Structure formats: C-alpha cells, structure tokens
Structure 1
Amino acid sequence: MSTATVNQNRKELFGHPVGLFVLFFTEMWERFSYYGMRGILVLYMATSATAIDPGLGWSNKDAIWLYGWYTMLVYVASIPGGWIADKFLGQKKTVMLGGLLLCFGHGILAIPQNWAFFTGLILIILGVGGLKPNISTMVGGLYKEGDIRRDSGFTIFYIGINIGAFLASITVGLVAYYYGWHYGFGLAGIGMVLGQIVFIWGQKFLKGVGEFTGGSEASEEERLAAKRPLNTIEKDRVVVLLISFLIVVVFWGAFEQAGGLMNLYTDAKVDRTTGWSSLAEIPAAVFQSLNAGYIIIFGTVIGGFWIWWKKKGRESSSLFKMAVGTIIMGLGYVFMMFASQEASAETFGKAAMIWIFLAYLFHTIGELCTSPVALSFITKLAPLKYASIMMGVYFAATGFGNKLAGSIGESAQLEPFEGTMVVSKQEVLPFMSKDSMEIKNLDKKIVDIYDYPINQDKNFSIKSKVYPENGKVVFKEYETGTDLNMLFELSSGEDSNTAELMTTLTENNVTASNPYHAKLVFEKDKDKAQIIGNKGDGKDYGVSFVLEEQQSEQEYATFKWLVIFTVAFGLLLILFLKKLKKLTHGAEDHEHEMLEQEPYELADPSIND
C-alpha cells in the first residue's frame, strides 16, 4: 500500500491539496448516510410494533444491546478492510468497493421488512469496513513527512465528516419523524450515492494516492519497502500506536453514549418543547446534530489553537492532545449529572435542554482534541507496509469503544417489571382520555382521528404511585389515588422479577406516605394487533414499567462514573507522557510550515536499525 507515488506538486485550494476536498465531500456524504441512519436506529428498534409508523417493538435494553454490537462491528470490519487494501487492492479501489456496498446496504434498509433490516446492517458493516480506514489513510498520503499542515488537514477532513453528520441528524431525523422510519433510512441512502459520485468524479485529483504497492503504479522503492521487515524504530512506533488505541477505546466508550443512552434519555427525560406552533416538540434524533454542529463551528478554531500552541514551544504532542481531549469530553457528563438531578427533583419531571447543549459542547471539544489528531498520528507513525491495516486497527479500537459504550448504556437501563392486563376495555377506559392520533385507514392512507388509544390498539400509559403494603405491592393512580391493582397482574414463574420489586421497595423503606413512582405502559401484543378483526377489542395487552426513582439513580451513577474514569485516565496518560513520547523516536519533533506540497510516504522506509 502507498499513500503517494507520484513525484509532482499537487494543485492546492485554500492552502491544501485539492484531493483533500474530494475526500472531504466523499466522506461528508458517507457520514451523512451513516449518522443519519444511526440517529434513528435505536429509536426505530425501541418504537412499538403497533405504532402508526411501527418499529421493531424492542425494549430499550435490547435496542442498546444491538446498537453496541452493530457500531462495534462497523469499525472492527476496518481491519479486514485495511488488510485487503494493503495486500490486494490498494486504498483507492477498496474505498470504491466499500462505497458500492454502502449504497446497496442503505438502499435495502429503506425496505420495510425484517429481512431487509438485518441484510442492510450487514452490508453497511462491510461497506464501512472497506471505506473508512482507507479514505482516512489517503488523506495522510496527500502530505509530505513533517508538514505542519497535516493535523489541520485532518481537522478540515473531520469537519467534512461532521457537516454530513449535522445535515443528516436534522434532515433524516425530521423525515423519519414526519414521514416514517424507512423514508429516513432511504434519505440516508441517497446521501451515500452522492458520496460515491463525488469519489468517482474526483479520481483525477487523487492520482498516485492510495495505489496498491504490488501494482504497476507503485515505485520500486515502495515495492521494496512493502517486502522489507520492520526495523527497531518502526517496531517502537507500532507499540506506541497500539498503546494509543487503548486511549481510543476509552474515549469512544464514554463518548458514544450519544446514539444510545443519551438519545433515549433525551427522548424520555428532557423537555423538548419549543413553543413554536410549527414544531411543538423537537424530535430526540435532531439533538444528534449538536455534536456535528459544534465541530463545524469550532473545528478550525481548535485546530488553529494547537498550531499556535506548538509555535509557542509548549507541549502539543498527539498523545498530550488525546489525553486532554479525553478529560474535557468526560467533564461533559457533569452536565448530564445536573440534568439527572433536575429531572428527578420532581415526580415524572424533565430536565432543561441547556444541559444537553452543554454536555455535547464539552464532548465536541474533547473529540476535536482527540479524534482527528489520532487519525493524523497514525499516518505519522505507521510503517508503509502496514499503513492501511494500522488505520483499520484504529477503527477497530473505535468499534470496541462503541461496544463498550453499548454495554455502559445497557447497564444504565433497568430490566422492566412486566405483567398482563386482566380487565375489559370498558373497565380501563376511565383511566385514559381521548387524544388526537394518526392511523392508517382501509386505503392505507394516514388520517387524523380523535379517539381512545385502546380503540385503535395503541399504547397508553398510566402514572402510578408504587409501595408495599401487607405483603403485596400496591399501585395507586398518581393524581387521584385510585386503585390500579385490579387492572393487571404481575408476571409469575421462573423469569418473573416480581420478587425483586418487593425487595427493592422494602429495602428502600418505601411507604404509602413516601412512595416510589412508575409509568405503567400498556401495549398490545404485536402479533394480535396485526389481526384486523381484533382491532379495538382491548384484549392481549401487556404491562411493563420501571421504578422512576431507581432508574434515575442508575442514570446518575452512570454519568458520575463516566466523569471519574475518563478524567482519571486522561491524567494518568499525562503522567506517563514522556515515556510514551520516547517510543515515537521524534516523529513529531520536526514539524514545520512548508512552502510547497510534495508527495509523502508513511514511515520513511529508508530508516535502518
């Protein structure tokens, strides 16, 4: 694999090679497709299968579980993607192949069928694995070794990523909200097609970048470098890269709560009302645009700050930036702790939006100090023969971080208590009110009606006080105090967690005068809801709930430990910074401004033992 093979000055735009902007727009649209789909993925899985725009009907816990595995595999696939580029195709052709797989994957995901959902996810995993590590390595191939513009070039590239993410989070989120989940998935797919078109069109600006070292385009020097064993300096640099990947796992494990835990938290416990008649409530998925929006605003500012900081002769190594970024990102969860406290200050309360804005701001500043810097760091240290696969390992580390994030988010979600509604529709009607809702008529057109949710097989919920009394759990309607125990029976048997409910209430000294609270969610069995003749019969309803106080404590504890661990980890890195820098053998010691851009090769192959 090579990142540059043509000895010529490259055309420049705004002080950077034109090829940077080809890769910028390609990645922008690819990330539009990925983040647009990711922004609605968990919400789609967790949406009731009987809703007007049905989701998969999974629990929050199960949705985050799949989200964690999916986001991990998306990035772990970068290892075989990098290996294929290094050994067989080169980066450029592997990016082309990955882009085609992504076009098919997103297109299939727009089909409203279960087989299409899982098939689409698999193709997207394979496509990102081929595209993501190799397009990033190609960015490094545009710059000569020691060029101080490299970090800022990656920051510009990173801004492109986040323009795509910003546009996707708003447009895909709104399209999914107003027109349906699969229209949102389809819009994400259109973005990927545009990215593929840009990459094909821009090939003339990428000549000599990302070619296969075993092919005819490679120079004799590159072919020899690909066969030569690693020397001592290169081995040390690989070691420090592998250590830096541990930073990546920790950083993304904390950061990537955005699509899972924070997405669900925003949906359930943040006051998203605006007072605007045209948009009374902001869809939760739209808040995913904050991170990308902040990057667009502050990306060049943070990149310029570090260049200024370095020129002042102050510590500005990549490892230092990554440690500082991890600390700043972790501090963002302090605001989520404030949000959790505000929401739990009153029963069934919600937090103000300002906490989400502040949390994402700190997460973004931390990301700008870490992620684009890590990409650049790899292109500085990776040996030529392993350039793509090292970038693949980096993205695999990102994937493991995403899986860690999924596990953390999953642990923050309590297993719901479950039961079965045991009364007729007439007996439960007094506990609900008529509401405006959308349904599909016999012509499968969406129309607005005003009715009781149960008449349309819709979900409904009842706010309840919960406390133990005389050896049983008592449920009382929150405002009126009406007995709710007659409406449903808690599940029993080996899989039941009813005994756990009584234990929790007793151990926390819950009483009638100091009760816990729960929102009892009544949901019709999704298979029975498909039978037209059963519509509105009020039968086959299950009940599920979590204790609000217990859930709030779990979320607060999760946010607190994220702060403690990330800050402690970042400080530990700074403590060992000098020892880690020695392993780089001065790879960042001679960066300077260059008058003209020349081709660059990763890890100078002429270095001897």
Structure 2
Amino acid sequence: MITTDKPVHKKELFGHPVGLYVLFFTEMWERFSYYGMRALLTLYMTAQTLENDPQSGLGWTTTEALALYGWYTMLVYLMSIPGGFIADRYIGQKKAVTIGAILLTFGHAVLAIDAIWAYYTGLGLVILGVGMLKPNISTMVGGLYKPNDIRRDKGFSIFYVGINLGSFTASLSVGLVAAIYGWHAGFGLAGIGMALGLFVYLYGQRFLVHVGNEPTSVDKSNDISLATLFSQLFKSPLQLGIVLVMLAYAVYAGFTYEGPDNWGFGILFIALSLITGIMMMIYKNLNGQIEKDRYVVLLISLFMVVVFWGCFEQMGGLMNLYAEEKTNRMIMGMEVPAALFQAANAGFIILLAVFIANIWAKRKLKGKEASSLFKMATGVVIMGVGFVYMVFASLQYEANGSSAMYWLVLAYLFHTIGELCLSPVSLSFFTKLAPARYMALMMGVYWAATGLGNKVAGVIGEYSVQAGELKIFGGLFIFAVLFGLLIILLLKPLKRLTHGAEDKETLIKDDENEGFELSNH
C-alpha cells in the first residue's frame, strides 16, 4: 500500500484527474483482450480440426458455435449484476476491478493452451472477470468528479474512446496473429493485452486513493433487499399467481426444448420469471402516478435494448461466420482475415462519435425532436437498415458463389451509426426514469436486458442454418425498421408518460472542442 502526505490523487492532466487516464488505459487493454478474443470465438469453433496444425479449430457446426457464442455473450453481461453487487455491498469497486483484471489475465492465458478443458475454463474465467471489472470501472470514472463537475461528461467521452481504441487495435492485431501463427497465439496476445492493463491499474493506484473504496455502513443501509421484494410478492395473490404460472411454463418449455442446451434455457426462463416478479413488485411499491408512468416507459426502453442488441450482435456471430465462409476477401492477391472486419465497428465509432453527437445537439438547439426515446428508436431503424446490405450480399452470393467485402463494411457502418444513437443514450435515459431507491437494482436489470439481447442474437444465428442467411438478414431488416418506426409513432404519448424527465436539460457550447454537451440544471 502506497502512503504519502501529498494529495497525489488531485493531480490533473489535460484538465482531468490523472486517475481518468489510469482507468482509460486499464479499460483500453481490457477491451483489447475481450474484443480480440471475441473476434476469434466463432471462427475458432467452426474451423476444421487438424492434427498438429496451429489453424486447427474445434470443428463444431455453425449451430453449436452460435449457441455457445450466445450463452457466452449473455453471461458476460449477466455477471455484471453480482459483480456490481459484491463491490457495492462488500469490497468496493477498486478491489473488484483488481480481481476482475486478474481473472481476465488468467482466463486469456488458459485460452492460449490447446486443449478443450482449457477452452471452457478460459471462457469461464473471462466471464467472471468481465463481470467484476465492467460495471465497477465505469463507476470509478464517475467517482473521480464531484457531483456538479461539468467535466464529468467529457471524462466519460474520453473513457469511451479508450474502449473503442482497444476494440479497434485488438480486431486488427489479434486477428492477424491468429491468421499467421494460429488461434491460440491470438488468444495469448489478448492475454498479454490484459496483463498490460492490470499492470497499468496497479501502478496507478496512487491516483485512485479516493474512489472505489469499501462501502461504509451508511452505503449498505441504502440498499434495497431482494428478500424484501420477494416477501412482498407472497403477500400479493395476483402477482404471485402470475409468477407461478410463468415458472411452471418456464420449467416445461425450457426442459422440453429440443437441443443439447435445454437445461440452460430452463434456467434462463426460470430466471426471467423471477425477474418479472421483481419488476411487478417494484411497480406496486412506486409512489404516485408519475413514478408509475415513468416506469412503464422504462420497461419499453428495456424492450428496445433487447431488440437492438439481439440484432446488432449478429456482428460477432452470424456476420463473422459469413465473412469467413461466403465473402470474397481477396485484395491484391492477399486474403484479408475474417476477424479483421470486427475492427470496422470500433473504427467507425472513433471516426463518427463526435459527429453524430453534434448532429443531435444541433437538432436540439433548433428546437427539433431530439429526445432520448427518439434517438433510441432512430438508432434501431438505422441499425435495421444496415441489414439491407447483408441482403444484397446474400443475393450476390447466391448468384456468384461469393459476395463482395464492401457489403459487410456498409452494414457495419449503419450498425455503428445506430449504436451511436442508442447505446450512449439508453443508459443515461434509464437513470433519469428509474426510481432513485431502486437505482442499483434497476441497473442490474438493464445489464440483464443487454445480456438477453445477446442471447437472442445467438438464437437467431442458430436458426440461420435452417432458414438461410437471406431470410434472416431480410427478417431482421423488416422487424427492426418496423419496430423503430412504431416507437416513433407512439413518441408523443410515451413522452407524456415521462412527465418532463428531460425538460431541465440545456445545451452548453464547448468552444474549445467545437462541440456540445448536455447540462442538467
């Protein structure tokens, strides 16, 4: 433990606490490891099994690979719930991030071993590591600033750049290493990245002495107990009856599901039934019609989150396999590794994030519609339009036996624009509507919805084996566009139900960076 009489944690660099840059590089390397491994995951599982060959994969079918991909990406987000709870209740964010980084480093190191036990063990450690690190490092970024510090939004913007810089460099470098030296060399490079992140975090502890510490007894007393909500459920016959019916159906539907992972679906459906019960009890305990109306809008926004990520996450699953198997990736006599296309999303974010944010800001200044609901619905529509290019790619493949790379790039471009409209907005909007005394619990529900969307993406990808990519891509385009337009049509009544939750926001011109930022007065 480092002790000093100097207030080193108050040092600043470029107008922000030095601790921000410690967390920036920690998260950058964590995302490097996660997205580097994610880019290889489905490709490795479906690669042909060869003896004594670094390019040997597991030889799984597309259905098997996408099923595991769905479970894996879902669990990564679901583990954020216990990860955040453990930090908030027991050990603090600082220790939680340390534990998460150590688990991730070991997880990627194990993945570098060419053995099936190592594969499953490594994935498990990565799931646990991300669950401990992801929700808590963001909380620490917020803790670097006082509640009314105008630099907070800029700080999170800088932090967001680190996330995408890590993703972009990983998709390029890890994909190349895997293509040249083999899958496990790629997994190993991801592990080296995480080890660097752990080193940066431990070295920079002296700049984080005032954030992420263990919770006090006062902090713990403000928690909402799940046991309290469940005990109230037993006192409400109607709600209890609904949950029991859902549980009975969950057991039947889950464990009669045809497939090797029916037990997983059974557990998932039971968990969804219990979450539904919790959500009903929260609604019943709300104070006044305003809180209840906002809660209804919150649930609709959750549904948008599930729909968006259920479509968007085809990028790492079905579209990743499509790039490998059905795309002509030859340029000047050289074949571009399929994993490199995963860099397009992060690259477009780095290029377009400020541009998209300024478009929305200027619309708001002109008095045009720029509410969070409108942004989110527009994001769903734009993301859906991206699948049109995958429809064109599928038609070209059916005609010529392969499709051009530019269809994938165009699809990723529209998916990224949709992400920039929805992803940064949805969590902020969620915090504006969620009842304050249930905030921590509702944040867990938000990440659960994100995880459920990832699993939906895997299920859709599995179905493509029977239906074909053309029907899947076409169906996703039609559904996403129609769903987003439906929300836009219902915008006025939905905004009324928010009771002016965003009316106090004003825009402040940022002359230094020629941009805009939102302020809540």
Structure 1 residues 206, 592: closer, same or farther in 2, change over 3 A? farther
Task: Give the equivalent residue in structure 1 for 2:387.
Answer: 333
**Residue identity opposite 2:442 in structure 1:** M
The equivalent of 1:366 in structure 2 is 418
CA distance in 2, matches of 1:205, 1:283: 40
Matched, 1:324 2:385: no
Letter in 2 for 1:569: F
Question: What is the DSSP-based 3-state SS (H/G/I as helix, E as strand, rest coil) of the residue aligned with 1:28?
Answer: helix
Which residue in 1 is equivalent to 2:308?
A: 251
The one-letter amino acid of 1:355's match is: W
For residues 566-608 of structure 1, the C-alpha deviation after alignment (integer angstroms, 9 at most, x for no partner) is 1111112223334444454544322346799xxxxxxx9xxxx
- For residues 300-329 of structure 1, give each alpha carbon's deviation from its aligned partner in whole angstroms, at most 9, with x where no partner exists: 222232233323333222222111111111
Cα distance change, pair 285–16 in 1 and its aligned pair in 2 (3 A): same
Matched residue SS, 2:331: strand
Corresponding residue for residue 339 of structure 2: 285
- 1: CA distance between counterparts of 2:315 and 2:201? 29
More helix by share: 2
Equivalent residue number for residue 6 of structure 2: none
The Cα of 1:65 is off from its aligned counterpart by: 1.1
Are residues 343 and 227 of structure 1, via their aligned partners in 2, closer, same or farther at CA, if it must alter by over 3 Å? closer
Q: How far apart in 1 are the matches of 2:443 and 2:449?
A: 10
For 1:180-238, what per-residue CA distance to the aligned partner results, in whole angstroms no more than 9, with x for missing partners?
Answer: 111111111111122222333344444544444435xxxx6x67755799755666655
CA 1:383–1:132: 2 relative to 1, 3 Å: farther
Q: Which SS does the other structure have where 1:354 is aligned?
A: helix
Distance 1:44 1:298, change over 3 A: same
- 2:461 is matched by which residue type in structure 1? G
Q: Distance in 1 between matches of 2:198 and 2:438?
A: 26
Aligned partner of 2:249 in structure 1 is none
1:307-356 deviations in whole A, cap 9, x for unaligned? Answer: 3332333322222211111111110000111111111113xx21111111
- CA distance in structure 2 between the aligned counterparts of 1:78 and 1:593, rounded to whole angstroms: 32
On the 8 A contact 1:134/1:391 being kept in 2, the answer is no
Corresponding residue number in structure 1 for 2:324: 267
CA distance in 2, matches of 1:393, 1:251: 16
Over residues 406-434 of structure 1, what are the superposed CA-to-partner deviations in whole Å (9 max), with x where a residue is unaligned?
111111124xxxxxxxxxxxxxxxxxxxx
Residue equivalent to 1:130:
132
Query: What's the counterpart of residue 46 of structure 2?
Result: 46
1:555 equivalent in alignment to 2:445: no
1:71 alignment counterpart: 73
- 1:345, 1:128 → 2: CA distance? 43
1:532 corresponds in structure 2 to none
- Using the TM superposition, give the Cα deviation of residue 24 of structure 1 relative to its aligned residue in structure 2, in angstroms: 2.5
Report 1:102-117 matches (<5 A). 102-117=104-119
Q: How does 1:303-318 map to 2 (within 5 A)?
A: 303-318=357-372
Give the gaps of 5 or more residues in structure 1: 1-8, 415-550, 597-603, 605-609
96 and 143 in structure 1: CA distance in 2 versus 1, 3 angstrom threshold: same
Q: Which moved more, 1:150-159 or 1:28-37?
A: 150-159
Partner Cα separation in structure 2 for residue 239 and residue 586 of structure 1: 14
Tell whether the 8 Å contact from 1:136 to 1:375 is kept in structure 2 after alignment: no
Separation (CA, whole Å) in 2 of partners of 1:251 and 1:345:
30
Answer yes or no: is the 8 Å Cα contact 1:140–1:379 preserved in 2. Answer: no
2:165 alignment counterpart: 163
CA contact (8 A) 1:146 1:590 kept: no
Q: Give the drift of 1:16.
A: 5.2
Tell me the secondary structure at the aligned position of residue 187 of structure 2. helix
For the residue of structure 2 that corresponds to 1:288, the secondary structure is: helix
Paired letter, 1:43: L
8 Å contact 2:383–2:414 — kept in the other structure? yes
227 and 322 in structure 1: CA distance in 2 versus 1, 3 angstrom threshold: closer
CA distance in 1, matches of 2:325, 2:391: 16
- Distance, in Å, in 1 between the alignment partners of 2:298 and 2:96 is 23
Q: 1:292 to 1:595 in 2, by over 3 A?
A: closer
Distance 2:308 2:500 in 1: 25
**Larger displacement relative to structure 2 (15-24 or 291-300):** 15-24
Bigger Cα displacement from structure 2, 570-579 vs 104-113: 570-579
Q: After alignment, is 381-390 or 251-260 more displaced?
A: 381-390
Question: Which deviates the most, 159-168 or 82-91?
Answer: 82-91
In structure 1, C-alpha distance between the alignment counterparts of 2:205 and 2:495, rounded to whole Å: 37
Task: Describe the superposition over 1:105-134 as per-residue Cα deviations: whole angstroms up to 9, x where unpaired.
Answer: 111111111111101111111111111122
Q: Matched residues, percent identical?
A: 62
Residue 315 of structure 2 aligns to a residue whose secondary structure is coil
Contact 2:348 2:416 in 1 (8 A): yes
Quote how far apart the aligned CAs of 1:380 are. Answer: 4.3
TM-score norm. by structure 1 comes to 0.66
Mapped contact 2:372–2:425 kept (Cα < 8 A)? yes
| 8 Å CA contact retained: 2:87, 2:136 | yes
1:383 is displaced (CA, Å) by 5.5
> Structure 1's 144 and 307: CA in aligned 2 closer, same or farther, altered over 3 A?
farther
Name the SS of the counterpart of 1:345 in structure 2.
helix
SS in 2 for 1:271: coil
Q: CA deviation at 1:36?
A: 0.5
Structure 2 Cα separation of the partners of residues 187 and 251 of structure 1: 31
Of 185, 188, 197, the match for 2:199: 197
Instruction: Report the RMSD for the aligned CA atoms in angstroms.
Output: 3.1
The amino acid across from 1:71 in the alignment is T
Q: Determine if contact 1:74/1:129 at 8 Å carries over to the other structure.
A: yes
Return the match for 2:354 from 286, 290, 300.
Answer: 300
TM-score computed with the length of structure 2 as normaliser: 0.77
Question: Compared with structure 1, are the counterparts of its residues 366 and 13 closer, same or farther at alpha carbon in structure 2 (3 Å cutoff)?
Answer: farther
- How many Å separate the matches in 1 of 2:501 and 2:206? 31
Equivalent of 1:404, from 417, 435, 456?
456
| Structure-2 change in CA distance of 1:381 and 1:86 (3 Å) | farther
3-state SS, counterpart of residue 332 of structure 2: strand
How far apart are the structure 2 equivalents of 1:239 and 1:26? 37
Question: C-alpha distance in 1, partners of 2:174/2:416?
Answer: 21
The one-letter amino acid of 1:119's match is T
Question: What are the within-5 Å matches in structure 2 for residues 482-501 of structure 1?
Answer: none
Alignment deviations for residues 512-533 of structure 1 (CA, whole Å, 9 cap, x no partner): xxxxxxxxxxxxxxxxxxxxxx
Which segments of 5 or more consecutive residues in structure 2 lack a partner in the other structure?
1-8, 226-284, 511-519
Tell me the amino acid that sits aligned with residue 561 of structure 1.
G
Task: Indicate the residue corresponding to 1:459 in structure 2.
Answer: none
The answer to whether the Cα contact below 8 Å between 2:29 and 2:194 also exists between their aligned partners in 1 is yes
- Structure 1 position 85, deviation (Å): 2.4
Aligned to 1:25: 25
Distance 1:212 1:391, change over 3 A: farther
Counterpart of 1:354 in structure 2 is 406
Residues 266-294 of structure 1 deviation map (CA, whole Å, 9 limit, x = unaligned): 11111100015xxx100111111111111
Identify which of structures 1 and 2 has the higher relative contact order when contacts are C-alpha pairs closer than 8 Å and 6+ apart: 1
Greater strand share, structure number? 1
Change (3 A) 1:227 1:166: closer
Residue 56 and residue 562 in structure 1: after superposition, are their counterparts in 2 closer, same or farther (change >3 A)?
A: same
Deviation at 1:563, TM superposition (A): 0.7
| Matches of 2:28 and 2:189, distance apart in 1 | 14
Maintained 8 Å contact 1:151/1:376: no
Q: 1:396 to 1:202 in 2, by over 3 A?
A: farther
CA distance in 1, matches of 2:440, 2:135: 6
Q: CA deviation at 1:401?
A: 0.8
